[in-house]
Structure 1
Amino acid sequence: MPLPPGQFEMSRFPRFGLPEYASRTVVSLRDDIRIGISAGHETALATILDALDRVEQVSDFHCVTGWSVSALHWEGYRFAEVVDALRDGHGAGPERARVVEFRCADGYRTVIALEDLMQADVMLADRLNCDAIGLTHGGALRLVAPGLYGYQNAKHIRSIHLRAKAPHRRSLRTRLLRHPRARVAHEERSELLPPVIARWIYRPLIRPVASRFARGERNADIGRPT
């Protein structure tokens, strides 16, 4: 299958992200992750996951900067089934939800349209290519949404909240670097810039950012599974 527009194949799956996160060493424990409709109406995500069937899938990963990795093998839980279980336990609250906010142990935060997360290939993953994901790629639990650019695939998840609307305004920097939907098929790389301009800006950043994350990983020795 051909790659999406503006993407090229990467031979390996690098640790990658916003440069300010390159040296952040985090420990995200599965049993500490919370899910709910607000800070006062949460439950342990583990209690939901333990009642669900585990699933596996092979899917591609597409970074907004232009690189892709094909045929990654993920294991975990369908996100749609997690939402259905939450609705069963919390009544009408989650029924009004339109977006989902992910907060991560390294301080990262993202908001995603619930519609995009209810797709059949979206999952919460704890294993990658037959190994525990570990800290390199977002352990203990991360989002896998193949139809969305990588910055929406939240890593080191700490909490998940279903909301009626986005809880905070988007800064100019965020609007330049990200699109609120980030759908790969629509090449939604930036809220303000056309795709061809966003490609031109992002492409030269790939090598230095990857090198920075590689140094951060070596210095912190965070490549081991947890």
Structure 2
Amino acid sequence: MNPLPSGQRWLSGPMPRFGLAQYVQRWADPSTVRALGLHGEVHFPLAVAHGQLASLPRVALTAHFHCVTTWSVPDLCWEGWRVQDLWAAFFREAARPSASHVRISGADGYATCLPLEEFLHPSALLADRLAGQPLSQAHGAPLRLVVPRLYGYKNVKHVQTLELLAGPAPVSGMGRLLAHPRGRADLEERSGVGFQPFWRRLYASQLSTFLRQAERFQSPPDPLQGEPHA
């Protein structure tokens, strides 16, 4: 087993459904996400229906998953399509040369920005299966971005649209605190500001609380009871 990045610890048990409270409590309906759209720094916008992905080679990827809050899960087995192949087949001709970043948005309202070189890294996958099973609603069905070298907050669930940008997306002060422009786990890029070991210690001190709170959102809510609230 590969060594853990600095500040991480192995989590016993399956990977939890995890994220910021305002998003993790939202349950996107996978049946409403049928295509992957592209806009922004493009010659023309377009949408790739999920059925068109069948023309691409399927790949399997086994990799560790690292959450910025200091837990890691080893050897998750993802299946899907390489982002590089998706880009070459459908998006390369539409992209303007000025495009340097991509904002990835999910059907639950969450979005993050990545440099194109990270989005197109050879390990980046658009996954539709996990551990030999179709991707669950809890973990991002129908399609989830998987970039193992980056912290989990860069691995968007329910991927729906890609917006190409000529530079990094502008972020608020709080956004800089909660996300790094890249988020590489091996370089401990937990936050866009400050001394990174500070954020490690802060997250580690709250980890048990984070995980207890996450237990509330491991399964879709009972429709008779309505949505839970953080």
Match of 1:62 among 42, 52, 66: 66
Q: For residue 123 of structure 1, report the CA deviation from its aligned partner.
A: 0.3
| Dislocated runs of 4+, deviation >6 Å | none
Q: Deviations over 1:190-215 (max 9, x none)?
A: 11121210011111332222222321
Q: Which residue of 2 aligns with 1:51?
A: 55
Please give the root-mean-square deviation of Cα atoms over the aligned residues, in Å: 2.1
Q: Is the 8 A contact 1:19 1:209 kept in 2?
A: no
- TM-score, length-normalised on structure 2? 0.87
Residue identity over aligned pairs, in percent, reads: 35
Q: Which residue of 2 aligns with 1:143?
A: 145
Q: Which residue of 2 aligns with 1:210?
A: 211
In the TM superposition, what are the counterparts of 1:161-200 in structure 2 within 5 Å? Answer: 161-166=163-168, 168-200=169-201
Task: Tell me, in whole angstroms, the C-alpha distance in 2 between the residues paired with 1:172 and 1:143.
Answer: 25
- TM-score, length-normalised on structure 1? 0.88
Choose between structure 1 and 2: higher helix proportion: 1
Task: State the one-letter code of the partner of 2:110.
Answer: Y
Assess, with a 3 A threshold, how the Cα gap between structure 1 residues 189 and 76 changes in structure 2: closer, same or farther.
same
Task: State the one-letter code of the partner of 1:189.
Answer: R
In the TM superposition, what are the counterparts of 1:94-173 in structure 2 within 5 Å? Answer: 94-166=96-168, 168-173=169-174
Q: Is the 8 A contact 2:69 2:203 kept in 1?
A: yes
Task: Tell me, in whole angstroms, the C-alpha distance in 2 between the residues paired with 1:162 and 1:48.
Answer: 21
Q: For residue 95 of structure 1, report the CA deviation from its aligned partner.
A: 3.7
Q: Deviations over 1:42-66 (max 9, x none)?
A: 2224254122011001001000111
Task: Tell me, in whole angstroms, the C-alpha distance in 2 between the residues paired with 1:175 and 1:148.
Answer: 16
Q: SS state of the match for residue 25, structure 2?
A: coil
Task: Tell me, in whole angstroms, the C-alpha distance in 1 between the residues paired with 2:91 and 2:220.
Answer: 43
Q: Is the 8 A contact 2:138 2:220 kept in 1?
A: no
Task: State the one-letter code of the partner of 2:85.
Answer: E
Q: SS state of the match for residue 186, structure 1?
A: coil
The aligned length equals 219
* Higher deviation after alignment, 100-109 or 70-79: 100-109
Which runs of no fewer than 5 residues in structure 1 stay unpaired?
none
Match of 1:78 among 64, 67, 82: 82
Task: State the one-letter code of the partner of 2:181.
Answer: P
Which runs of no fewer than 5 residues in structure 2 stay unpaired?
224-230
Q: Is the 8 A contact 1:28 1:157 kept in 2?
A: no
